[in-house]
Amino acid sequence: MILDQLILPWLIAWLVAGLGAYLVAVLDRLMATGPTQAGSVWLAPLASAAWLMTQQATTTEAPDAPAWRLAPALYLALAATGLALVPWSPTLVGVDLSTSLVLWGSLEALATVVIFLHGWSANSHLALIGAYRYVALGLSYLLISMFVLIGVALPAESLRLTEVVAAQTSLWHVVSQPLGLPLFLVVGLGLTFWGPLDLADSTDLSGGTAVERSGPPRLVWALARAAMLVAFSAIAATAFLGGWLGPWLPGPAWLLIKSLAVLVALLWLGRRLPRLAPERCVTLMWVLLLPLSFVDLIWAGAVALWMA
């Protein structure tokens, strides 16, 4: 009983985090190089990881040593905790809280703290600039996510993710709330600072918060970013694509398929959209996307009242 209800879902969460991070590296390389290099992309992430494991972990002068060591591991732990919230079936849930949507929002907020800690603790000006860039935009991501997730909670009349999935039995939220998923995908790109919203670890800062990272800590940071992308994809599939719901296949298989679809969409957007300048990104978030998220919330409330 304990194995089925607690240990097994957590083991699944860590397994999905690890394998998902590897899949992110493979898919991202495949999108970058094209199908002609498909044979080598499967081994390239493993080769890169092995190379980083053999490199020396350098440090800066007078860093905040505890925060410097803990930040990558904390970000990875947040990703694994997010995956533990995901219901794989009505009974296979790692953390089935009555406020699991609120906990996910808390993880997003804590991610902002950890990312800032990662840049600040290095005692390096480029890393610190990357950290402040992320914080400058982090509040807009959190607000957009809050409005969108409240929208999916309204039809379920619950903040529990299992209830959110059950509320989509007749109609997925991606259909009833058409603005919700696109806005949430923007949150995902921002939360993992991926693609067009990579302002924390961008090339113009020579790597931003990770500029001073090398060796195994750099590998853990890259693993954590990819694992957070996987965790976000699973949450998005749960909240908007019906989670485990689907014919013929078992529930966990449907969730994996839907999560993979969201993950591919995020990676494709990350490769196809140009990186925004920080000032334009601020304008986009506060002037356009944040009001749209409020419209989405009003729309979700109206639909919930009409269907009640």
**pLDDT tens by residue, 174-217:** 999 999 999 999 999 999 989 899 989 988 888 889 999 988 99
pLDDT of residue 35: 67
What percentage of residues in the chain have a pLDDT greater than 90?
58
Q: Alpha-carbon torsion 31, 184, 130, 65, what sign?
A: negative
d(CA 236, CA 126): 32
pLDDT of residue 145: 94
Confirm whether pTM is higher than 0.85. yes
Q: In the structure encoding, which two tokens stand for residue 247, read together? A: 């014919």
Asked if the model's pLDDT at residue 37 lies above 70, the reply is: no
Secondary structure of residue 87 in the 3-state scheme: strand
In DSSP terms, 87 is beta-bridged to 93
Nearest CA among 96, 72, 27 for reference residue 270: 27
DSSP 241-264: S-TT--SSS-HHHHHHHHHHHHHH
What average pLDDT score do residues 151-155 get?
Answer: 93
Asked whether the beta carbons of 219 and 139 are under 8 A apart, the reply is: no
pLDDT of residue 260: 95
pLDDT of residue 43: 84
Asked if the model's pLDDT at residue 8 lies above 80, the reply is: no
d(CA 285, CA 111): 18
pLDDT of residue 104: 95
Asked if the model's pLDDT at residue 4 lies above 70, the reply is: no
Could you give the dihedral angle defined by the CA atoms of residues 168, 172, 173 and 177, in that order, rounded to the nearest 10 degrees? -130
